[in-house]
Amino acid sequence: MDHRDHVNLLRGAVVSAGGTWADLGSGRGAFTLALAELIGPNGMIFSVDKDKRSLQEQSLALNARFPRVKVQGIRGDFTLPLDLPPLDGIVIANALHFIAPPQKPEVVQLLKSYLRPRGSFVLVEYNVDQGNLWVPYPLTYTSWKTLAQQCGFTHTRLLATVSSRMLKEFYSAESW
């Protein structure tokens, strides 16, 4: 995947510039960069990852490509409570598949608690239910839709798909 794919996976959920968003489990910031392009300089992004070096790398990339976009890097674990303001949206891309199925509802409920009413929860995930060593607990769009409903989201929609050399394809879905 490249930057255009990342942007297209989020585009259906980020329909207007601005807002306060979080990219959780952001890694080196591929989706943080996509969010920055979509929300522009009138928005705010909280980029959360455990790895200090990844946050530093994404900060350099963001400053080079989107210097006017406000991004606050937070070194932390998204599975634990975070000090975040009410959010218009959350992006969790290729990170929920590290959470074992019994813990997924609890983690999704925690993340949902950060959203403003009608806030968007955007998941980017492999569209399979069987993982491997590197992607241990992925979930198909159908499985996500069921989990999202169990966690109190009343609407879920498929946004986009992108082919993957590993594990079939990626999908993005928005729940609110």
pLDDT tens sequence across 28-62: 999 999 999 999 999 999 999 999 999 999 999 99
Q: How many domains does the chain have?
A: 1
**CB 77, CB 50: distance < 8 Å:** yes
Instruction: Output the domain CATH number for residue 104.
Output: 3.40.50.150
In the block, residue with structure tokens 């491997």: 132
| Average confidence score pLDDT of the chain | 96
Evaluate if residue 2 carries a pLDDT over 90.
Answer: yes
**CB 90, CB 20: distance < 8 Å:** no
Domain span including residue 26: 3-175
